Amino acid sequence: MKLMKTVTLFLALGIWFSLTIPGSPKDNADHFVYVKSMNISGLEHTRRSVVLRELTFNIPSRVAEQKIDEFKTRLTNLIIFKRVQTSYADSVLTLQIEEAPRYSIYPELSFIDRSWSKINYGFDFTHFNLYGDKIYLSLSAQMGYNPGFSFNIVDDWFTSKKIILGISAYSGKIQNKMYPFKETHHNVSILTGKRIRRDIYITVNNGIHFFSFPDKELAFFNKTDYFGKLYQAGISLLYDKRNYKFFPTRGAYLSASISTESIQPLEMQYKHYMTDIRAYFPFAKTSLGFRQYTHFSSQSLPIYDGVYLGFSERLRGYFFKSYYGKALLLHHMEYRFPLFMPRYYSYPSLEETAPDYFKSYFSNLYFGIYGSLFIENGMIENNYQSLNFRQSLTGYGFSLYFLLPFHNILRADLAVNDGGQWEYIIEGRVSF
């Protein structure tokens, strides 16, 4: 009953905001223009083919203005462009692009499992646009809570066949989520896949994982082996048609994956099944978003690879509490509304005097502020048959989103759970 009252209040507030905030411009889906040719300016380090492969219409042809807007959004979501502007005159579509910094080299401070008490610090090199072909490369050396070294390279559009290729490796120590000791992990994995359509991907991940534990008694629930190899294989399907991946207000996202793990020499096998479904419905300048996340597992799980709530997946209202099981089900609903409409800022005097590498840090800097009302509900049990809404956890509250340059976000939450306990949360990410 308490949950239903909360949902009713949430929807009533959403309808009220939708009616009181001024509407957006009239949908231009039925407005067409004839595009005879296209000019692209601003590409200094990016290949022209990276832009052209995001086109969803032919040139020359009669094109809906909505298609042009979608093309602009697709380019923005590539990360490698800081700002994309379009204009049309005399049957010519003009793209004015400002590239984001291609790479970053900086001391890194990161928070493990979304916790401010689990801090890693170290050095990170990231290249977002290797060879001008949007190939992602990352090298990292970390100390602190989970010390280690990592390497990752991904090309998500290899050749005209739209192949996805990636290699990742990690070596380091990871704090166990249930017991006070660190595990030693070394792994290598290879990612292969293909774009079925522009917004639909299928990938296969295969890897080998070496692990060891300091205590034989805790290794696998009193098993005698404390060192082993884990063979991993998984397949994932991804559909992503969000308007802005870093702060979506329109569109949908679907991820479904199955993975199987085989541990040697224990001859132990188990599986993970995961789905992540998100939908965003715009109302005037506001948006109502929904998410459902499931994570089920089969057979017995090793203590380093369980199903958890309170780590990478969290529930606002119970944000600082952790739970363990084999079946997790989460529901999120959030109503987002603008408090300060996003816009770009430039500082020409600083840009002129800055060294070449830092010039882009003073032009076309994106900034905006959104507020949101949210409700989140979750449950975790030892099997999916035991999941019960009557025993679920519920939290709700208010958020402030600060949209920052280079696709960064700062979020501040005021949350309360169904037991009346309040939380204050600060994170550098969108909720979903």
Write phi, then psi, for 91 (nearest 5 degrees).
65, 15
Cα dihedral: 383, 386, 390, 395 (round 10): 0
Summarize pLDDT for 11-22 with one digit per residue, the tens: 455 445 444 444
Q: State how far the Cα of 54 lies from the Cα of 80, in Å rounded to an integer.
A: 13
Per the DSSP assignment, residues forming a β-bridge with 304 are none
Query: Which pairing describes strands 61-64 and 32-35: parallel, antiparallel, or unpaired?
Result: antiparallel
Q: State how far the Cα of 343 lies from the Cα of 77, in Å rounded to an integer.
A: 17
Residue range(s) in the chain whose domain bears CATH number 3.10.20.310: 31-99
pLDDT at residue 304 in the model: 75
Neighbours of 429 (CB within 10 A): 12
Classified as helix, coil or strand, 321 is coil
Summarize pLDDT for 250-265 with one digit per residue, the tens: 999 999 999 998 877 6
Helix (H) or strand (E) holding 17: helix 2-20
pLDDT at residue 387 in the model: 75
Place of tokens 């739209």: 162
Q: State how far the Cα of 283 lies from the Cα of 338, in Å rounded to an integer.
A: 12
Range name among 77-81, 136-140, 212-216 with the lowest pLDDT average: 212-216
Summarize pLDDT for 268-283 with one digit per residue, the tens: 788 899 999 999 999 8
pLDDT at residue 215 in the model: 59
Question: What is the average pLDDT across 221-232?
Answer: 61
Query: Is the Cβ–Cβ distance between 28 and 62 less than 8 Å?
Result: no
Question: What is the average pLDDT across 43-59?
Answer: 92
Q: Which segments within 28-69 are labelled E, that is strand?
A: 32-35, 37-41, 61-64
Classified as helix, coil or strand, 410 is strand
Write phi, then psi, for 351 (nearest 5 degrees).
-65, -40
What CATH architecture does domain 31-99 belong to? Roll (3.10)
Label residue 266 by pLDDT band (50, 70, 90): low
More confident residue, 343 or 24: 343
DSSP-derived secondary structure letter, 354: S
Per the DSSP assignment, residues forming a β-bridge with 127 are 103, 137
pLDDT at residue 224 in the model: 40
Q: Which two tokens stand for residue 96?
A: 């004015």
For the entire predicted model, the pTM comes to 0.85
Q: State how far the Cα of 290 lies from the Cα of 250, in Å rounded to an integer.
A: 11
Neighbours of 44 (CB within 10 A): 9
Q: Which segments within 112-176 are labelled E, that is strand?
A: 119-130, 135-144, 148-158, 163-175
Dihedral-angle region of residue 199 (phi above 0 means left; psi in -120 to 50 means alpha; beta otherwise): alpha
Q: Considering only the top CATH level, what class is 101-240? A: mainly beta
Cα–Cα separations (whole angstroms), residue 252 to 105, 244, 273, 277 = 34, 11, 20, 8
The closest alpha carbon to 418, from 372, 371, 373, 378, belongs to 378
Q: State how far the Cα of 329 lies from the Cα of 376, in Å rounded to an integer.
A: 11
Label residue 28 by pLDDT band (50, 70, 90): very low
pLDDT at residue 398 in the model: 96
Residue range(s) in the chain whose domain bears CATH number 2.40.160.50: 101-240
Query: Is the Cβ–Cβ distance between 203 and 191 less than 8 Å?
Result: yes
Q: Is the pLDDT of residue 219 over 50?
A: no
Query: Is the Cβ–Cβ distance between 313 and 330 less than 8 Å?
Result: yes
Q: Is the pLDDT of residue 234 over 90?
A: yes
Report the sign of the C-alpha dihedral through residues 203, 156, 406, 89, in that order.
Answer: negative
Q: State how far the Cα of 247 lies from the Cα of 413, in Å rounded to an integer.
A: 16
Summarize pLDDT for 83-116 with one digit per residue, the tens: 999 999 989 999 999 998 888 887 888 888 888 8
Query: Which pairing describes strands 92-99 and 37-41: parallel, antiparallel, or unpaired?
Result: parallel
Q: Is the pLDDT of residue 56 over 80?
A: yes
Query: Is the Cβ–Cβ distance between 241 and 255 less than 8 Å?
Result: no
Dihedral-angle region of residue 356 (phi above 0 means left; psi in -120 to 50 means alpha; beta otherwise): alpha
Label residue 303 by pLDDT band (50, 70, 90): confident
Summarize pLDDT for 31-47 with one digit per residue, the tens: 889 999 999 999 999 99
Mean of the per-residue pLDDT values for the chain? 86
Query: Is the Cβ–Cβ distance between 427 and 113 less than 8 Å?
Result: no
